[in-house]
Amino acid sequence: EVQLVESGGGLVQPGGSLRLSCAASGFTFSSKWMSWARQAPGKGLEWVANIKQDGSEGNYVDSVKGRFTISRDNAKNSLYLQMNSLRAADTAVYYCARGWGIDIWGQGTMVTVSS
Amino acid sequence: DIVMTQTPLSLSVTPGQPASISCKSSESLLNSGGKTYFYWYLQRPGQSPQLLIYEISSRFSGVPDRFSGSGSGTDFTLKISRVEADDVGVYYCMQGKQLPTFGQGTKVEIK
């Protein structure tokens, strides 16, 4: 069974940092683009970042460029999102997702940025 | 960025009746290789999104055949032939021709 399990969410103060992780199983992780998307409370979906199979290319939505870094460890079947200089507007459920055109979503992890 | 615009933003449907959602993109989603990377998702209340349709009209694994997708270029439609109670939630379109962008979502409820 294909599974994506996120972890690392929590409450952080504005300007702080957080690292999200996603454990993938049930498919050949190293063969897939991987993505992060988010959903602010009561709002719609927003794509955040994606990363190529070998980690050589990453793309970001403009609002997180320079603050967030996506990475992966194919040996551990894991995807990461390092989030720095967090803002209140980054408060959301963060989803790990498979593919550029997303076909599988994780259950999400909540990130709350508040003082 | 490609802007995706969904209509309507909400829909109330009698069980057993059809429903249709439209999604328009700000530019053509047809790529140079002849493919169109356009997707439909359903997010049921309290759940993660799930893929329904990919590349305009292909149903994802396990998706009932009452869901169908159509369209081309900049105009796309999701149709539910006979709405069931389990179809309640928010439907999103997404383009993957460039960096992904989603539509605003269409909330479907049962009358």
pLDDT number for residue B2 = 97
- Contact predicate A55/A78, CB 8 Å: no
Which of B93, B95, B99 would best serve as a mutation to test chain A binding (most A beta carbons within 10 A)? B99
Coil, strand or helix at B102: strand
Task: Lay out the sheet containing B19-25: strands in order across.
Answer: B4-7, B19-25, B75-80, B67-72
CA atoms within 13 A on the CB side of A105: 21
pLDDT digits (tens, 9 = 90+) for A61-110: 999 999 999 999 999 999 999 999 999 999 999 999 999 999 999 999 99
pLDDT number for residue A32 = 98
pLDDT number for residue B6 = 98
C-alpha closest to that of A58 among A28, A91, A82: A82
* Long-range interactions of A41-46: CB distance < 8 A, separation 24+: A41/A91, A41/A92, A43/A92, A44/B90, A44/B92, A44/B102, A44/B103, A44/B104, A44/B105, A45/B41, A45/B43, A45/B49, A45/B92, A45/B94, A45/B102, A45/B105, A46/A92, A46/B102
pLDDT digits (tens, 9 = 90+) for B26-72: 999 999 999 999 999 999 999 999 999 999 999 999 999 999 999 99
pLDDT number for residue B53 = 98
pLDDT number for residue B30 = 95
Question: Which chain B residues contact residue A37 at CB under 8 A?
Answer: 100
Coil, strand or helix at B52: strand
Question: Which chain A residues contact residue B49 at CB under 8 A?
Answer: 45, 95, 102, 105
Task: Flag if A107 and B48 touch (Cβ within 8 Å).
Answer: yes
Which of A1, A102, A107, A110 would best serve as a mutation to test chain B binding (most B beta carbons within 10 A)? A102
Burial class (CB in 10 A: 0-12, 13-18, 19+), A114: exposed
Tell me the mean pLDDT in the region B94-103. 98
| Distance between CA atoms of residues B59 and B53, nearest Å | 5
pLDDT digits (tens, 9 = 90+) for A30-65: 999 999 999 999 999 999 999 999 999 999 999 999
Please tell me which of the candidates B41, B92, B99 has its beta carbon nearest to residue A59: B99
Task: Flag if A101 and B90 touch (Cβ within 8 Å).
Answer: no
Using the Cβ of A58 and the Cβ atoms of chain B, whether some distance falls under 8 Å is answered with no
C-alpha closest to that of A38 among A104, A97, A101: A97
pLDDT number for residue B64 = 97
pLDDT number for residue B59 = 98
Q: In degrees to the nearest 10, what's the CA dihedral of A47, B40, B4, B8?
A: -130
Structural element, H or E, at residue B51 = strand B49-54
